[in-house]
Amino acid sequence: MYRSAETQVMRERVKIAEWAYRMVRLSTTGNTSTSLQENSKQSYALSLRFDPNPVNVLDAQRTLETTSREVARLARADVTAALLAHASLWEAQAGAETAQARVSLAQMTADEAKRKHEIGALSLLDQELTGIEVRDAELGRRRAEQALLSTKAEAIRLALAEKADPVTVSFRLKEPRLEQSPEIFQTEWERRMAKTKERRARREYMPALVADAFHSGKTNVSASVSSRGAVNALVGYPTLYDPTFLLYGAGWTYSLRLDIPIDPLNWVNARQAHNDARLAEARLVKQRAQLKIQFEQARRDAEAAGATLALAQERLTLLQRKQQILQAKMEAGAASKLDTLNAGVASSDAGIQVAKAWGMYLKAVSAYLELTNAEWEAK
């Protein structure tokens, strides 16, 4: 199955987004450092911080979901491109066959005109006009052959066969889920993000209880835990120390403090996030109503295109049967070759219409799938 280079690259990006999401969920960062002390000895330090940030987690989750959706969209586009290439190749093949049939018909008409002119039943002007028709049919055949070569090249690029089988497939139009549509997905994420930012901003301007612990000595250790969920730890070894300090000042100390933010911007941020959430909710109501109508319109368009395709196929079947009957009569001497050729041209024209209807059906189904974020699935 054809897969574009872009699709393959995006699949790798999904894996990267998955790892990024896992790392952000850990909410842990660290740092190591080394320094040279006055006594020419090296000292080392390790710091760790655990600070759960729901905004960052939600943002990473959105990146993962968006990337996954983009991969699905590209894969769907690859299938669409292959199907439309099949329809184009089929139409080009039918066009070439029709052009050849028109050349045969024009040549036979010209031969008949020449015969009539020789017996005085047709003027020279009318005979010359039939010659123009032959040349015009020849040009049409060349154009059709050139178009066929172009569509073959596209089919080869998409790893398809150089000849399209004249077959069609009906596809499922699954009942859509509003949450799966790209518009609802984007607005719903904006609403969730606004709600999360509001909760975080409200937490930032509320007082926080912080517990601290500190150990001094040859190895320094400090740790703090906040009621907001943040945890900090620092370990340093060896430290620059005074022996007398070890005798009298080394050991653990503890403290409990209350942090009261006075930054009014936190309150403003909370109000702004609350307003953003309300705005997103209002857009969601409007989008859901609009999308229900769009879904129904897209479904009806696809169903109408399917009905048009079925009608074109039925017409082709009848014209092919008529051609076969005339062919049998011609072989029995009950029908002229000219009538048989005319029937063949009509049948070839009907084949072109079927290929065109197949392409229009594919485009209508593709539009529905894009709108509903669904996959191609044959009935």
Q: What is the residue extent of each domain of the chain?
A: 1-30+54-166, 168-205+283-379
Q: What residues in the chain have per-residue pLDDT under 50?
A: 240-248
What local confidence, expressed as pLDDT, does residue 246 receive? Answer: 44
**Measured between alpha carbons, how far is 212 from 229 in angstroms, rounded to an integer?**
14
What local confidence, expressed as pLDDT, does residue 363 receive? Answer: 96
CA nearest neighbour of 108 among 124, 126, 125, 130: 130
| Residue 232 CB-half CA count within 13 A | 11
What local confidence, expressed as pLDDT, does residue 244 receive? Answer: 41
What local confidence, expressed as pLDDT, does residue 204 receive? Answer: 76
Map residue 38 onto helix, strand or coil: coil
What local confidence, expressed as pLDDT, does residue 44 receive? Answer: 66
The tokens describing 302, both together, are: 């696809």
CATH 1.20.120.80 fits 1-30+54-166, yes or no: no
Phi-psi region at 40: left, alpha or beta (left = phi > 0; alpha = psi -120 to 50)? left
Q: Cα 108 from chain centroid? A: 52
| Residue 154 CB-half CA count within 13 A | 19
Burial of 377 (0-12, 13-18, 19+ CB in 10 A): exposed
What local confidence, expressed as pLDDT, does residue 240 receive? Answer: 45
Cis peptide before 264 (omega within 30 of 0): no
Phi-psi region at 93: left, alpha or beta (left = phi > 0; alpha = psi -120 to 50)? alpha
